[in-house]
Amino acid sequence: ALPSIRAHAKHFGKMALIQFDAHTDTYSNGSEFDHGTMFYHAPKEGLIDPNHSVQIGIRTEYDASLGFNVIDAAKANDTPVEQLVAEIIETVGDLPVYLSFDIDCLDPAYAPGTGTPVIGGLNSDRALKLLRGLAPLNIVGMDLVEVSPPFDQSEITALAGATIALEMLHLQAAKLGK
Ligand code: MN
């Protein structure tokens, strides 16, 4: 996500991040660049504003002092979708949005084919409904990451990833119609 966010920030300026994930990926890890550190680097490089950013589905340890609005998996699973969407939209405000979807936000039952699965995640229906709720936002960039075919079973994860990516493209298509 980091190179993509850098490129988008060059064009759109500082963005809000909406991240679906089991992990915050804000780990410093000695300032290395890897799949768990991009959202440590992105705010430091001035690319995203944590105070207008939301991390959804988190169910692993994280540093709560970094300013992100963390909607952990328990809250994401127990709160009505409409209420979650309202909270996300309020947090983002007027900023352009970068949307990053790590497939491990989904429960391993729905997305087993990923490198660091964590139980207690979102189901795919809830994830789709949350994404659809983001239609009013100015989403300028997006990615879908961490689908790992060698770990997949019966292409369950590939199907989930492809369908979610399509839903994300629908958001962009809806914007063009406005
Ligand atoms: Mn993750």
10 alpha carbon – ligand 1 mean position (Å)? 25
Phi-psi region of 41 (alpha: psi -120 to 50; beta: other; left: phi over 0): alpha
pLDDT digits (tens, 9 = 90+) for 2-37: 999 999 999 999 999 999 999 999 998 887 899 999
In a 3-state reduction of DSSP, which class is residue 23?
coil
Cβ-based neighbour number of residue 97 at 10 Å? 26
161 alpha carbon – ligand 1 mean position (Å)? 14
Query: Would you state the pLDDT for residue 178?
Result: 67
The CA distance from 84 to 103, in Å, is 19
Query: Would you state the pLDDT for residue 30?
Result: 83
